[in-house]
Amino acid sequence: MRRMIPTSFSSKFQGVISMNALRCYVSEFISTFFFVLAAVGSVMASRKLMAGDVSGPFGVLIPAIANAFALSSSVYISWNVSGGHVNPAVTFGMAVAGRISVPTAMFYWTSQMIASVMACLVLKVTVVEQHVPIYKIAGEMTGFGASVLEGVLAFVLVYTVFTANDPRRGLPIAVGPIFIGFVAGANVLAAGPFSGGSMNPACAFGSAMVYGSFKNQAVYWVGPLLGGATAALVYDNVVVPAEDDRGSSTGDAIGV
């Protein structure tokens, strides 16, 4: 038994650093970089277009549209390589559900956070007249309330990701990322004025790192991670349980 432990550990470690795994990490880096560049850059663009006054409806509408388009595209370009996570909350949900290993999830997180920081650095260097925006909590919100709101948003997003990844639906590959982008845009429209509608710890981390302030950063980690984990458990164990627990009628109903 003692000889099996290092062998098992060695095989798992080799899987984490294999060529296929490295392709996944690079894919996550590229897709997350593109998403954060568009998501954070859209806030800066709206600020420019509205002469710094982003309190109006367009201050939320522009980032929401950018989030929807950018996330759909980012998920699509990495869908068949890394799974198109683009978000530590999604990765955490996949790990909790047992779809990826914990070491792989840690490398995914590393790729996502580095990509987010790099994207925000590009914005800081190129748009010299503005500072990189960070996610903030509205005055009428508490930290706990904002964390709960971000958790609910992440639940909806990750639940949609799990649904889009379900092969029994028989949907074309391009359809899943589109719906994931739609729900992200809707979440930003709903929560943008209150908590920012981040749903993505990597995006919040990158902008905070470049801006130089980690105030309320826990809100954008605790809420989304718990929401993502809950969505994974609910989808895999309650709504769509294990294969041997489903009858043929259930599969037919899902395919409708």
Distance separating alpha carbons of residues 256 and 253, to the nearest angstrom: 5
Provide the token pair at 125: 């260097």
pLDDT of residue 240: 76
DSSP 87: S
- Count the Cβ atoms, other than its own, within 10 Å of residue 150: 33
* Topology (CATH level 3) of domain 16-238: Glycerol uptake facilitator protein (1.20.1080)
Rounded CA-CA distance 112/242 in Å is 30
> pTM for the complete prediction?
0.86
pLDDT at 245: 46
Nearest CA to 153 out of 182, 181, 184 is that of: 184
Which DSSP symbol is given to 167?
G
Residue 222, pLDDT score: 96
Q: Is 206 helix (H, G, I), strand (E, B) or coil?
A: helix
- Residue 3: per-residue pLDDT: 43
The residue ranges of every structural domain in the chain are 16-238
pLDDT of residue 49: 83
What is the spatial distance between Cα 104 and Cα 170, in angstroms, rounded to a whole number? Answer: 27
Read off the DSSP letter of residue 240: S
Q: What is the dihedral of CA 173, 176, 177, 180, to 10 degrees?
A: -170
According to DSSP H, which parts of the chain are helical?
4-16, 19-49, 58-78, 88-96, 102-126, 143-164, 175-191, 201-211, 219-234, 248-255
Asked whether 161 and 90 are in contact (CB, 8 A), the reply is yes
From first to last of its 256 residues, the chain has per-residue pLDDT tens of: 334 444 455 555 666 788 899 999 999 999 999 999 999 999 999 888 877 666 677 888 999 999 999 999 999 999 999 999 999 999 999 999 999 999 999 999 999 999 999 999 999 999 978 899 999 999 889 999 999 999 999 999 999 999 998 887 777 778 999 999 999 999 999 999 999 999 999 999 999 999 999 989 999 999 999 999 999 999 988 887 766 444 433 333 333 2
Residue 11 confidence (pLDDT): 57
Q: Are 107 and 25 in contact (CB under 8 A)?
A: yes
Q: Report yes or no: 67 and 185 within 8 Å, Cβ to Cβ.
A: yes
**Can you give the pLDDT at residue 256?**
25
Per-residue tokens: 156: 């909806």
Task: Quote the pLDDT of residue 4.
Answer: 41
pLDDT of residue 17: 80
